[in-house]
Amino acid sequence: MVLAEASLNVASAPSYLEALNSKQQQAVLHSEGPLLILAGAGTGKTRVLTTRLAHILERNLCGFQNILAVTFTNKAALEMRERIQRLLGRSVDGMWLGTFHSLSMRILRKNADALGYSSNFTIIDSDDQLRLIKQLLRAENIDEKQVPAKMVAGVINRWKDKAKTPDRAGNPQELTVQLYRQYQERLKILNAMDFGDLILNCLVLFQQNPEILNSYQQQFCYLMVDEYQDTNAAQYLWLRLLADGHGNLCCVGDDDQSIYGWRGAEIANILKFEKDYANATTIRLEQNYRSTNHILGAASGLIANNRDRLGKELWTEKQGGESVLIKGTWDSENEARFVIDEVEDYQRKGHSLSSMAILVRASYQTRDFEERCLKTGTPYRVVGGLRFYERQEIKDALAYLRILVQPDDGLAFERIINVPKRGIGATALQNMHVIAREQNISLPRAALLYAMEDGKGIGKANLRQFFEDMQRWRNMLDTQPHVDVVKAVLDESGYTAMWLEEKSPDAAGRLENLKEFVHAIEEFEFLPGFLDHVSLVTDNNNQSAGDCLSIMTLHGAKGLEFDFVFLPGWEENLFPHPRSIQENGLEEERRLGYVGISRAKLKATISYALRRRLPYQGWQVGLPSRFLSELPAAHVKHVQANGHESRQQNSPESLRRPASFVEYQAQHFEIGDRVFHQKFGYGDVIDTEGEQAVVEFDLAEEKRIHISFLKKQA
């Protein structure tokens, strides 16, 4: 029936429909009932989703407030919005189009009071989260060496990914469950939420307030989700609840591109769509429009090594083009030089820098490329890496503004109360914390009480001054442009002066950044809107104008495409990443390789270095990645470090032979050894096998761990 309707409409089809193949058209025209578009990279899934959305609006099937569209990153959301506007020729401002987090935030801001929050709640980042957990550990007299705050944060985040509130997280007597409960209570007092809370609290809101859920269910006649393979359990539930109203849920995704298992994504969500929605229609797309035959062949050959997949056959009309190049280099600096030389070469041939990207596995890899770009004067931007809003001076400035807007924001308060120095030391802060806990109030309120207590210390006088200033700036907000208030805050608090007096070489750069920060605020009408924006743009900072090369992680490149893609660091120990193999399995790493190669339209260049400098570890031998030997010979050309072009490019022996100049320093473990792991904390070795040890952790489940991640304790 849907097909008949499809061909009927196509007869008088608008041009955006004519630009699609028949399967894609079918997906666009399917407007009632659940729909799954399950297809490989570059087959037009995102294009179909966007067109479908525009088509629904074009045909007036509903108002634009009645569509909910979820994409994975803010950048993707922005692109989708622009494309819809282009298709429709009008603005769709205010539309419910964004990431799970931004859409949830919108719902929560409106309904915060139903959860006991006020609507100006702040969103804290992972730094603040750790600070808060550390406070809790200190208050409970728990040694952070025994229970690392990072580990607790990890456990809490996983619970949130799984939609588990403290009362459903497990045995209430367990330490981590208790910490989780306290952490949530503290957040509430602070009127703050962490990232995971945005989804979790929405779920709680819906479950506790059926009338609120119902109103959203009625509102959203059509729901659409891109990159569905990377939703976690909480996001899955969120969607199910909202889609329950009209049942018009359309999800698009690719099981081969599920790469966020480490953040709780559950590939099973996409695989069970047809079971979840009995009357679901599934459409598979097979023509890849993005890449040449060699690129597609290499990507498909790699992913074919995964066993746990649905399996798809993709084809492309783009025959010819260059093989995927595998380039060996002597060391990581050499690799960077090779890549940037190639970039310049393409540029000389007339290609724009924005048509090229370097996709790395680990963010520390970007530095070599950045340095090379600086040397050669090649404009570049690190997408999602060294994020502007994560720099120290920017976070400080943000903390000032957060307190301005939200006087109870204790984490922001703690960050800057002694920056610049106001004579408020650790003991004073500890006293404030005691007051806060005893009276069950926020830290700034406790600080105010503390400042009003008897005592003449310079710290107390400064603290009183601080609160007076804050009040004055808040009053200014009512009458003056917010940008002027921000300037006043930074200058009159002594913050700008602190960097002016600072002698370190990076002080000038920090002052520049602060200027840029004020500049960024100018683009927003209100301060709270700006702060919301900042808390959401963690994955992207695409302020830099002009033509530039993109450097980003493989994870950040999902959904994007470039003419020329460089994939450096394909070495054992880096890609596949040993820790990730441990925690998410080799197949997720292989999917990441598939995502990487399939970003390329014209050419993919993979490289490896025989020696690499690792952060804090010095030089290490680089063994070419096992994935290289999985690429089909027909689609690749291998040039070794010595310039020799090998025909046997895929023989694992020739790729894996270790260079003789580096020795391994193996640690030896025995049953009964006491060990420490960065994420899981302390534990005892209960079995060993080759380079693996089975460890019974004090605070986590028993795990099999590669010994390079364990530190032996005396």
Q: Which residues are catalytic?
A: 45-46, 226-227, 257, 599
Burial class of residue 313, CB neighbours in 10 A (0-12, 13-18, 19+): exposed
**Do residues 678 and 633 make contact, with C-beta atoms less than 8 angstroms apart?**
no
Determine the angle formed by the axes of helices 195-208 and 210-219, rounding to 10 degrees: 100
Sign of the Cα torsion 411, 412, 413, 414 reads positive
Chain position carrying tokens 């924005």: 354
Closest residue by Cα to residue 15 from 57, 51, 43: 51
Find the binder of ligand ATP among 44, 98, 148, 569 (CB under 6 A): 44
Backbone angles phi, psi at 27, to 5 degrees: -65, -40
Give the nearest distance from C-beta 272 to ligand ATP in angstroms. Answer: 20
| Residue 676: count of CB within 10 angstroms of its CB | 18
Instruction: Tell whether residue 46 is a contact of Mg ion (CB under 5 A).
Output: yes
Instruction: Tell whether residue 309 is a contact of ligand ATP (CB under 6 A).
Output: no
Fill in the amino acid letter for 478: D
Instruction: Tell whether residue 43 is a contact of ligand ATP (CB under 6 A).
Output: yes
CA 554 – CA 270 distance, rounded (Å): 21
Coil/strand/helix, residue 639? strand
Find the binder of ligand ATP among 28, 38, 41, 707 (CB under 6 A): 41
Site map for Mg ion, 513-542, x if CB under 5 A?
------------------------------
CA 215 – CA 280 distance, rounded (Å): 24
Give the nearest distance from C-beta 577 to ligand ATP in angstroms. Answer: 21
Instruction: Tell whether residue 101 is a contact of ligand ATP (CB under 6 A).
Output: no
Among the residue ranges 41-49, 61-69, 626-634, 641-649, the one whose residues contact ligand ATP (CB under 6 A): 41-49
Give the nearest distance from C-beta 257 to ligand ATP in angstroms. Answer: 6
Give the nearest distance from C-beta 112 to ligand ATP in angstroms. Answer: 34
Residue with Cβ nearer ligand ATP (197 or 561): 561
Residue with Cβ nearer ligand ATP (410 or 596): 596
Fill in the amino acid letter for 396: D
Instruction: Tell whether residue 231 is a contact of Mg ion (CB under 5 A).
Output: no
| Residue 305: count of CB within 10 angstroms of its CB | 17
- 328 pairs with which residues across the strands? 608
Residue with Cβ nearer ligand ATP (231 or 257): 257
Instruction: Tell whether residue 23 is a contact of ligand ATP (CB under 6 A).
Output: no
CA 563 – CA 570 distance, rounded (Å): 20
Tell which positions 353-412 bind ligand ATP, by CB under 6 A: none
The residue count for binding ligand ATP (CB under 6 A) is 18
Tell which positions 226-285 bind ligand ATP, by CB under 6 A: 254, 257
CA angle 587, 267, 316 (to 5 degrees): 70
CA 48 – CA 22 distance, rounded (Å): 11
**Rounded alpha-carbon distances, angstroms, from residue 367 to 336, 345, 613, 619, 700:** 9, 21, 11, 15, 34
**Partner that binds at residue 20, options Mg ion, ligand ATP, none, CB closer than 5 to 8 Å by kind:** ligand ATP
Instruction: Tell whether residue 66 is a contact of ligand ATP (CB under 6 A).
Output: no
Give the nearest distance from C-beta 41 to ligand ATP in angstroms. Answer: 4
Tell which positions 557-576 bind ligand ATP, by CB under 6 A: 559, 561
Among the residue ranges 44-52, 154-162, 476-484, 494-502, the one whose residues contact Mg ion (CB under 5 A): 44-52
What is the Cα gyration radius of the chain? 27
Burial class of residue 562, CB neighbours in 10 A (0-12, 13-18, 19+): buried
Give the nearest distance from C-beta 558 to ligand ATP in angstroms. Answer: 7
Residue with Cβ nearer ligand ATP (281 or 646): 281
Give the nearest distance from C-beta 608 to ligand ATP in angstroms. Answer: 24
Among the residue ranges 38-46, 89-97, 477-485, 624-632, the one whose residues contact ligand ATP (CB under 6 A): 38-46
- Which residue minimizes CB distance to ligand ATP? 44
Burial class of residue 44, CB neighbours in 10 A (0-12, 13-18, 19+): buried
Give the nearest distance from C-beta 401 to ligand ATP in angstroms. Answer: 36
Find the binder of ligand ATP among 34, 42, 148, 528 (CB under 6 A): 42
Tokens of 104: 């949830």
Give the nearest distance from C-beta 80 to Mg ion in angstroms. Answer: 10
Q: Within 13 Å of residue 459, how many CA atoms lie on the same side as its CB?
A: 18
Q: Which residues of 5-31 are buried (b: 16+ CB within 10 A; e: fewer)?
A: ebeebbeebeebbeebeebbbbbbbbb
Residue with Cβ nearer ligand ATP (565 or 705): 565
Tokens of 482: 């917010």
Coil/strand/helix, residue 232? strand
**Partner that binds at residue 330, options ligand ATP, Mg ion, none, CB closer than 5 to 8 Å by kind:** none
Instruction: Tell whether residue 43 is a contact of Mg ion (CB under 5 A).
Output: no
Instruction: Tell whether residue 290 is a contact of ligand ATP (CB under 6 A).
Output: yes
**Partner that binds at residue 41, options Mg ion, ligand ATP, none, CB closer than 5 to 8 Å by kind:** ligand ATP
Among the residue ranges 17-25, 259-267, 320-328, 487-495, the one whose residues contact ligand ATP (CB under 6 A): 17-25
Instruction: Tell whether residue 165 is a contact of ligand ATP (CB under 6 A).
Output: no
Instruction: Tell whether residue 584 is a contact of ligand ATP (CB under 6 A).
Output: no
Residue with Cβ nearer Mg ion (45 or 294): 45
Closest residue by Cα to residue 536 from 406, 381, 384: 384
Tell which positions 540-569 bind Mg ion, by CB under 5 A: 559
690: left (phi over 0), alpha (psi -120 to 50) or beta: left
Tell me which long-range contacts 435-439 makes (C-beta under 8 A, separation of at least 24): 436/410, 437/139
Instruction: Please report, as ranges, the residues that interact with Mg ion according to CB under 5 A.
Output: 45-46, 559
Instruction: Please report, as ranges, the residues that interact with ligand ATP according to CB under 6 A.
Output: 19-21, 24, 39, 41-47, 254, 257, 289-290, 559, 561
